[in-house]
Amino acid sequence: MVARQDAVGNPADKPDLLMLVPLFSGMPPQLLGELARKLRPLRFRAGTAIFHADDVGSMLYIIIKGAVKIFIPSTDGREVVLAIHRAGDLFGEMSLLDDERRSASATTLEDTEMFSLSRQDFQDVLTRHPEAMRAIVRVLVRRLRLTNQSIQDAYLLDVPGRLARRLLILADEHGIDGEHGGVEIGLKVSQQDLASMIGASRVAVNKQLQAWRQKDIVDVRRQRVTILKPEELEHHFALSP
Ligand code: CMP
């Protein structure tokens, strides 16, 4: 599917939005204004492919509103979901940094607004502003830590343990107050997406969620998961280092 893109307003009018993005938050206001003029505003409907793995990368994307799934598709139609990025997050930096192809595909999970920055402008920012370079290194190191954690989980935990850990990470990153108490993961994630995040089948994820639902450990409504008893979930991976 070709991405539908509409302008959503001039970022030069909204340099304060950039303060929300860790990459830019340390920059003086004058430089933020300069940068804002180089950003291109985009809006995508939910379910739109922004780019595909192996494409040539030409843009960095900064999410202002919405959510983007980063995944590696396989030839049999399955996916490995690497991450879900939200407002304040950036993606598409890897191929601009190493001049390789896109390492993964990106698709919107919700109606999403973002800014794009060209390869040249991104590289200029990093060259001219050491604090931006440090911010990018922090982003990459954090992703490496999360990836290490996922590898560890894949080796050491069973499906309930991996699912429990992933739900708590999602709640930590995207949690909002639940309608009926607890912490709701403020994101529509299908059971297939959850399965693709932890390397399990949808059936196994469904079975485990039902079991936890019956014990009031979680609540699941309209693809939204609410964690009611986090300590019960922690129990499933507490023995892992
Ligand atoms: P790029 O390789 O240009 O295109 C795919 C993007 O997905 C990549 O840049 C990163 O921004 C993002 N990405 C790839 N792997 C991960 C990961 N493990 N965690 C979070 N984001 C990732």
Q: Each residue's pLDDT tens digit in the chain (241 positions)?
A: 334 444 456 665 666 777 778 777 777 777 788 788 899 999 999 999 999 999 999 999 999 999 999 999 988 888 999 999 998 899 999 999 999 999 999 999 999 999 999 999 999 989 988 888 888 999 999 999 999 998 999 899 999 999 999 999 999 988 999 888 899 998 888 899 999 999 999 999 999 999 999 999 999 988 889 999 999 999 988 755 5
Q: Decide if 3 is inside a domain.
A: no
**Residue 182 Cα, ligand 1 centroid: separation in angstroms?**
31
Q: Please tell me the total count of domains within the chain.
A: 2
End-of-domain residue from the set 153, 175, 195? 153
Residues 178 and 221 in one domain: yes
**Residue 213 Cα, ligand 1 centroid: separation in angstroms?**
33
Q: Decide if 204 is inside a domain.
A: yes
Q: Decide if 4 is inside a domain.
A: no
CATH of the domain at 66: 2.60.120.10
Q: Decide if 2 is inside a domain.
A: no
Output the CA–CA distances (angstroms, integers) from residue 17 to 23, 73, 101, 210, 220, in the order listed. Answer: 12, 32, 29, 40, 33
Query: Which pLDDT belongs to residue 35?
Result: 82
Q: Decide if 5 is inside a domain.
A: no
Residues 36 and 16 in one domain: yes
Residues 125 and 197 in one domain: no
Residues 26 and 121 in one domain: yes
Query: Which pLDDT belongs to residue 30?
Result: 77
Residues 104 and 18 in one domain: yes
End-of-domain residue from the set 119, 153, 187? 153
Residues 76 and 170 in one domain: no
Query: Which pLDDT belongs to residue 228?
Result: 96
Q: Considering only CA atoms, which of 67, 96, 95 is closest in space to residue 83?
A: 67
Burial of 118 from C-beta contacts in 10 A (0-12 / 13-18 / 19+): middle
Query: Which pLDDT belongs to residue 148?
Result: 93
Residues 74 and 97 in one domain: yes
Q: Considering only CA atoms, which of 7, 87, 10, 102 is closest in space to residue 57?
A: 102
Residues 49 and 168 in one domain: no
**Residue 177 Cα, ligand 1 centroid: separation in angstroms?**
29
Helix or strand holding residue 85 (H, E): strand 79-86
End-of-domain residue from the set 125, 153, 181? 153
Query: Which pLDDT belongs to residue 7?
Result: 44
pTM assigned to the model: 0.86
Structure tokens at 219: 């609540």
Query: Which pLDDT belongs to residue 5?
Result: 44
Given a contact cutoff of 8 angstroms between Cβ atoms, the answer to whether 200 and 163 are in contact is yes
Which residue of 80, 82, 114, 117 sits with most ligand 1 atoms within 8 Å of its CB, as the best mutation to test the pocket?
A: 82
Nearest-atom index, ligand 1, CA of 95 = 3
CATH of the domain at 213: 1.10.10.10
> Can you give the residue range of the structural domain that contains 59?
11-153
Q: Decide if 167 is inside a domain.
A: yes
Residues 17 and 92 in one domain: yes
The CB of 94 under 6 Å from ligand 1? The reply is yes
Query: Which pLDDT belongs to residue 27?
Result: 76
Residues 147 and 203 in one domain: no
Residues 137 and 182 in one domain: no
